[in-house]
Structure 1
Amino acid sequence: MDARPADGSRESAHLMLITPERVFYAGLLGRPRRRSSGAFHVYVAIKGGLRLAPEGERESHGELLVAPPYLAHAVASEYRTVICVTLEPETVRVGVIEELAKRLSGPDQAFFVDRIRAAYAWLPDRGFGDDITSAAFDGMFFGEALPARALDSRVRHAIAQITSFSGEPVTAASCAATAGLSQSRFLHLFKEETGISFRSFRAWKRARHLLHYANQDLNLAHLAQDIGYPDSSHFSHSIRRFYGLKPRAIFSGSRDLAIYRSGVTGLVAR
């Protein structure tokens, strides 16, 4: 694990903890357009309240709001900084996210708000070691480990290839060949196991990988190429779709963000 802020500077009140399956973020919300992330989002107000406007649904208000994966939504805060905890849906047992969303939005909501805020207050003083597994992460923010999903080994291997970000971009054809399946059979198996198409899954993981570099001074065109985007236009369009912000706006708002990483490989820097 990278036990220091990514830029080697002092710790900041704005911080992000990234693991392969979870992210904790406390920082500027900015003024995003509608976003459609591939992760399950738990938004918590640091001060004041939040507004969440899901596409085609009624706007909701509160100190804690949730958004399921791939649901287009807009979020606004009365305070410039917000907390966001995200889970990768393919990493938890089917039905767990829906049950967690009910608990977070139910009678115990105040408990979860207090717990997540307390974890945020405690994180800057924590000794970041190699123990930030998904179970440890869940325990910090939700009070218990969420049950993991048992994926087919061929799909697990494909996911590992997609998220390694090393070498040539991973294709469905290459994953199917490695799995010993036809491409059509592999694509069916992948969606059956993860609940999302191979192409959409890969697109989200590319966009998620950007978070590792958000506080660095990088050539964005080079970064886009390293992550696997065919060109800068695709890069900008994809990031805006998932985050509601242009890549440059993300980097501009993350200059004082301390980033901690656990269990991450395949990082690039230019």
Structure 2
Amino acid sequence: MSASGPASAWRGAAALRPGWLLYAGVVGTASPHAHHTVQVLAARGGEFELADGHGGRVACRAAAIPADATHAVLRGSPDAVLLHIDRDSATGRALNACARDAASWANAARSLPIPAAAGLAGAEALAAALPRVPAGPPAARHPALARALRAVAVRLDRSAPVRLGDVAREAGLSEGRLAHLFRDELGLPFRPYVLWLRIQRATELVAAGESLTLAAHGAGLADSAHLSRVCRRMFGIAPSEFTRGIRWAVGDAPRYGGPIR
């Protein structure tokens, strides 16, 4: 599968929010990849051409792609907004139910408004307009899984190794039982979950102005080459795309779609 189209390089502005990553500008091409967020794209100019992991393709102005669904951007847009949304947020849960084929992604976003405003203002407006599940208490997680998630977070904060066996002991479970809980309740095995948290940490450090090497080390990755391999697998582009052509905005903003679980 080869990427094509005029918008191959990413150039624009990005911002991190609690549970969100917002981007506005040129959306370039991206090779097949999958990430643990729900993704929403809306083209203010032209159309995207997307491919799923089963050979399906679709051309559309907007799409909502569920978490962990393999996809590629075959043709980007010269003026678009893109949102990465925590799958456990109220908005993420509302958008994560669509099927894993390209046609369904376009159908799921057919009623979404195309932002009138350019730049991050348009991304903020689209985020505020997205659907969300009705307010209410989130589904309870297994108490041992909650302990495990806290243990993972503490180890990442301390730049300590994050091993399934160590975390399982702190949670009071066997390795096998904890591994099942990660897959059943989070929808992601233990190691990919930890890797996703590391990429989030690296993104925060890059947004704060750190070099790719320091961001990789701060996230517990071996070096910038390791960060590059993971970014290509999760986002379909190299991390240099996020530093060469993207301006990161710093500042607080409200949580969209309710609190993150």
Q: Per the shorter chain, which TM-score range?
A: 0.7 to 0.9
Give TM-score scaled by structure 1 length: 0.71
Greater mean alpha carbon deviation, residues 75-84 or residues 35-44: 75-84
The Cα shift of 1:241 comes to 0.7
Give TM-score scaled by structure 2 length: 0.73
The Cα shift of 1:222 comes to 2.4
Amino acid across the alignment from 1:233: A
- Residue 129 (structure 2) aligns with: 141
- Residue 58 (structure 1) aligns with: 56
Amino acid across the alignment from 2:186: T
* Residue 108 to residue 74, structure 1, CA distance change in 2 (3 Å): closer
- Residue 175 (structure 1) aligns with: 167
> Which structure is higher in RCO with an 8 Å CA cutoff and minimum separation 6?
1
- Residue 178 (structure 2) aligns with: 186
Gaps of 5+ in 1: 1-12, 127-136, 265-270
- Checking the alignment, whether the CA contact within 8 Å between 1:43 and 1:84 is kept in structure 2 is yes
- Residue 258 (structure 2) aligns with: none
SS of the residue corresponding to residue 189 of structure 1 reads: helix
SS of the residue corresponding to residue 113 of structure 1 reads: coil
Q: How much identity, in percent, do the aligned residues show?
A: 20
Amino acid across the alignment from 1:14: A
The Cα shift of 1:242 comes to 0.8
- Residue 113 (structure 2) aligns with: 113
* Residue 119 to residue 211, structure 1, CA distance change in 2 (3 Å): farther
The Cα shift of 1:197 comes to 0.4
- Residue 156 (structure 1) aligns with: 146
- Checking the alignment, whether the CA contact within 8 Å between 1:41 and 1:69 is kept in structure 2 is yes
Q: Which has the higher strand share?
A: 2
CA RMSD after TM alignment: 3.6
* Residue 195 to residue 225, structure 1, CA distance change in 2 (3 Å): same
Question: Is 2:207 the partner of 1:219?
Answer: no
- Residue 244 (structure 1) aligns with: 236
Deviation string 1:88-135 (CA, Å, 9 cap, x unpaired) is 33456978621599997448723x124xx25877848x9xxxxxxxxx
SS of the residue corresponding to residue 201 of structure 2 reads: helix
SS of the residue corresponding to residue 173 of structure 1 reads: helix
Distance (whole Å) between structure 2 residues aligned to residue 63 and residue 72 of structure 1: 19
The Cα shift of 1:60 comes to 0.7
Question: Is 2:47 the partner of 1:44?
Answer: no
Q: How many corresponding residue pairs?
A: 236
Gaps of 5+ in 2: 1-11, 256-261
- Checking the alignment, whether the CA contact within 8 Å between 1:36 and 1:72 is kept in structure 2 is yes
SS of the residue corresponding to residue 85 of structure 1 reads: strand
- Checking the alignment, whether the CA contact within 8 Å between 1:216 and 1:251 is kept in structure 2 is no
- Checking the alignment, whether the CA contact within 8 Å between 2:203 and 2:215 is kept in structure 1 is no
- Checking the alignment, whether the CA contact within 8 Å between 2:38 and 2:64 is kept in structure 1 is yes
- Residue 8 (structure 1) aligns with: none
Distance (whole Å) between structure 2 residues aligned to residue 122 and residue 223 of structure 1: 24
- Checking the alignment, whether the CA contact within 8 Å between 2:24 and 2:81 is kept in structure 1 is yes
What pairs up with 1:2-21 in 2 under 5 angstroms? 14-19=13-18, 21=19
Distance (whole Å) between structure 2 residues aligned to residue 153 and residue 262 of structure 1: 31
SS of the residue corresponding to residue 214 of structure 1 reads: helix
SS of the residue corresponding to residue 109 of structure 1 reads: coil
- Checking the alignment, whether the CA contact within 8 Å between 1:46 and 1:81 is kept in structure 2 is yes
Amino acid across the alignment from 1:150: A
- Checking the alignment, whether the CA contact within 8 Å between 1:52 and 1:74 is kept in structure 2 is yes
Distance (whole Å) between structure 1 residues aligned to residue 180 and residue 74 of structure 2: 37
Deviation string 1:19-58 (CA, Å, 9 cap, x unpaired) is 1x33332233234322221212111112221111112231
Distance (whole Å) between structure 1 residues aligned to residue 66 and residue 48 of structure 2: 16
